Structure 1
Amino acid sequence: MGILSAMTKSVGGLNAQSFALENISGNIANTQTTGYKRTETSFQSLLASNGGRVSATTSGGVTASSRATNDIAGSIDSDDSPTSMAIQGDGYFVVRQKAGESDGNSIFSSEDLYTRRGDFSVDREGYLVNGSDYYLSGLKLDPDSGNPVGDAVDLIKIDTKGIGAEVTTKISYELNLPEVPLTQNATNFPDTPDSEKWDLNGATAIPATVTADDSDQFEENSITGSAITCYDANGTPVNLQFRWAKVDNSLATDVNSTDTWVCYYKSDSEATGTADKWTQMATYEFTADGQLNAIDGDTTATSVDLTGLTIDGATIGDVTVRHGTGGLTQQADSNGTVSISEKDQDGVPAGDFVDVEISDEGKVIANYSNGRSVPIFEIPLVAFAGDSALRRLDGEAYSPTSESGPAVYGASGSIVGSSLESSNVDLGDEFTKLIVTQQAFSANSRAITTANDMLSEVLNIIR
């Protein structure tokens, strides 16, 4: 009888709306859950067999099923934690679960799982674990080259040991020399022509060194070029001081040169008598417009190689001083002093581990007390052909199914450091669906009541 069928269909409607209510309430409960993907409800009609007669077809019942929204991203918000990360676009992190402990050390499942929840932090053993207790996997990087060590993806474990010292091998030294240097001699004799130049007493060559006895006269006729701290192989800091003296241009090696300078560094601050105190680094020639023309007679040079550099008895070794293209000029300066535009070197002392952070390139960066930041792991992203068919697990994690296909490394998405992906639940939409579901449930209840009233009328006929 149609009345009984109507009641059955309405009961099915109640069940379907109850199913939808479950999904809606779960979505509302997870509006603040990092990386949560809302579950939508799909409804399908069920038609009874009608023997092929189209005109006899009645509207069917209904059943409900869940539909995942794994492919719909939530908004990305900044986060204070340096180890938090979000995925912009397509992709999932590769994670594993902890299976237990042995002798105080964690044991992990061998099964790879996947998540977009990126609220990771470093645990007591150095692993990166998110708020749902899933542990992050990555590719180990060579700290020197930054290239992956093999292609095996494994759990990321941070090594908190310090790093050793690095000896200085390169110095970047870019500056402007004043056209007229304000030397002590020029100050004492301001009206004397060429008093700002270093008088070499008729010498036909610039001396390779300056002794302690001649140091005062040299310093009176030169200007400071600043100093830079370098490091030997043990990480011991060494103070490298530069000094510049302008000399007579008759010592120039190129006809296009109009001004000649010589730079010295202090090689032995404790030298006395005839011992060398200053050592020549190089001779520099400039054109009339203040551009560098030659270094030690080489018109193509932009750097100076110092072989076996030794300062106050500390041997640094071979060092290249780079001036860069256009980085060394001679232009008028009202103060008559050297103006430094760049001064840096590549050596560092030994450093203690400080912390880690996640870069926007998807790399785990270890920071050390000596200022070094070293990439130690790369975080891969995987994609699925059908990510909405992934099996959902507790804590915003997923496992592959036959419908989703296997994980494929090299997802098109990118990692955003110090950020988190929020839930993709829209609370306003969920409340709208809640009202519609409630009305549909009430309507199905009303249909059952009506069918029951009609059935009662039929039963009353036989009384």
Structure 2
Amino acid sequence: MTISSSLNAGVAGLNANATRLATISDNIANSNTYGYKRASTEFESFVIGGNAGSGVYSAGGVRAFTSRLVEEQGALISTSNATDIAVSGRGMLPVTTEVSLENTTGDQPMMMTTTGSFHTDANGILKTDSGLVLLGWPADADGTVPTFPRDTMSGLEPVVINANQTAGDPTTQMNLGVNLPAEDATEPLPLSVEYFGNLGTSESLDMVFTPEAAPNTWTMTIRDSALSGQIIGEYTLEFDDSRGSGGTLSSVTPTVNSPASATYSSSTGVLALTVAGGSLDMTIGRIGDTNGLTQLSDSFAPTQINKDGSPVGNLTSVDIDDNGYITATYDTGFTRRIYQIPLVDVPNQNGLISLNNQTYQVSPSSGSFFLWDAGDGPTGSIAGYAREGSTTDVAGELTDLIQTQRAYSSNAKVIQTVDEMLQETTNIKR
């Protein structure tokens, strides 16, 4: 019956506008919620077909569909916390729940979010106040991140940063610039240079430069204190006395006392030494190079000595760069990459399942996830010291609120009118 369909259409209109009112209320309530993605309600007509030309029309009404506009991005807001993280562009941060860390019978749930304020707990785990734990790929001791699978969570683990964490950086390279006296050198000349072992211990390379009877010729003996003074390299040094290259190396030859592995490369000017902890490359200069070992004037003086490595240091701060690398800085000036945070992407972000705390999970509508390096593929970059603001436009929501209120009132008026018409129909029978 046409009048009954009018009543049903009015009720459908009330339900649809009530749904829209619910999304508007949610959006306004979360206008200051970091990382909130606004919800949207769309209306679609519902048509009940009739016989063409019958002169009778049945109202079908309206249906409401809601969706979360996850692809919309809010403005980045700067903060003072290094582990406040936001995604600038496409992609999401991989997270999981705090309670799932104690789950030993299954995998941790894969969740994602676009922003979070992470802090370390008593165990050093980076998490939010709501219990979201940041996941990342751990780096090796040398700072390189191994290759992990991109379509599973198998390589991800909770990011742990211990405030009392210490680290040392062993010395692997050294540049040695020393001037040897060109005249009146009759006694051996000692020189000791500090280097750092694998455990952060301070060791030394004890060198002795001994003048030989041949003109412009010296013997360089290198001993390692960590090996109880064992010789790790001994070389005969010959210097050029010509006008064009006077004072520079003309040849470097290992002696019979030098280990077979302690070689010299004339193309790079590097001595390949083996100390107690492993290999150490010492650059003394190429043939004819004025920046390494020289024999000029009558003074013995180190002109340039520098090396990598550092003693054991305490963690002072961490930083997150645009590529998602978490770098730890120690009070000795040593820095080391400790984690990489990948970005999660799915084909249809608006198809993700929305959960509490601005988190999402994959669904059949969203498609499977893939883990990207930040900045690669379709993904954007990761910003530290930042949070993503809400995508709610309060002015626009208030406008929609007025329209929804008017539409709701109009549908209520339709129901009231139908009720009056039904009452008139009832009065006809009396």
| TM-score, normalization by structure 1 | 0.66
Match of 2:155 in 1: 153
Q: Hey, what's the Cα distance between the residues in 1 that align with 2:87 and 2:324?
A: 10
Match of 1:126 in 2: 124
Identity of aligned residues (%): 27
- What's the CA shift for 1:239? 9.9
- What's the CA shift for 1:163? 4.3
Root mean square deviation of aligned Cα? 4.9
The answer to whether the Cα contact below 8 Å between 1:282 and 1:304 also exists between their aligned partners in 2 is no
Matches within 5 A, 1:39-438: 39-53=39-53, 56-57=56-57, 60-99=60-99, 110-148=108-146, 151=149, 152-158=154-160, 160=162, 162-171=165-174, 200=183, 209-210=188-189, 230-231=195-196, 235=200, 294-296=248-250, 303=269, 305=271, 320-321=282-283, 328=291, 344-410=306-372, 412-413=378-379, 414-438=381-405
Flag the 1:234–1:449 CA change in 2: closer, same or farther, 3 A: closer
Can you give the 5+ residue segments of structure 1 that lack an aligned partner in the other structure?
178-196, 213-226, 241-250, 254-261, 268-279, 310-314, 330-337
The answer to whether the Cα contact below 8 Å between 1:281 and 1:306 also exists between their aligned partners in 2 is no
Can you give the 5+ residue segments of structure 2 that lack an aligned partner in the other structure?
206-214, 224-235, 253-264, 293-300
Q: Hey, what's the Cα distance between the residues in 2 that align with 1:427 and 1:292?
A: 79
Q: Hey, what's the Cα distance between the residues in 2 that align with 1:449 and 1:327?
A: 100
The answer to whether the Cα contact below 8 Å between 1:168 and 1:231 also exists between their aligned partners in 2 is yes
- What's the CA shift for 1:402? 2.1
Letter in 2 for 1:436: Q
Q: Hey, what's the Cα distance between the residues in 2 that align with 1:29 and 1:234?
A: 55
Q: Hey, what's the Cα distance between the residues in 2 that align with 1:115 and 1:327?
A: 57
The answer to whether the Cα contact below 8 Å between 1:231 and 1:347 also exists between their aligned partners in 2 is yes
SS at match of 2:33: coil
Letter in 1 for 2:34: T
| Equivalent pairs, count | 384
Q: Hey, what's the Cα distance between the residues in 2 that align with 1:211 and 1:65?
A: 84
Flag the 1:382–1:82 CA change in 2: closer, same or farther, 3 A: same
Q: Hey, what's the Cα distance between the residues in 2 that align with 1:447 and 1:51?
A: 25
Flag the 1:13–1:109 CA change in 2: closer, same or farther, 3 A: same
Q: Hey, what's the Cα distance between the residues in 1 that align with 2:138 and 2:335?
A: 15
Match of 2:229 in 1: none
The answer to whether the Cα contact below 8 Å between 2:346 and 2:370 also exists between their aligned partners in 1 is yes
Letter in 2 for 1:170: Q
Q: Hey, what's the Cα distance between the residues in 2 that align with 1:435 and 1:282?
A: 92
Deviation string 1:35-54 (CA, Å, 9 cap, x unpaired) is: 21111001111112313559
The answer to whether the Cα contact below 8 Å between 1:83 and 1:120 also exists between their aligned partners in 2 is yes
| TM-score, normalization by structure 2 | 0.70
Match of 1:22 in 2: 22
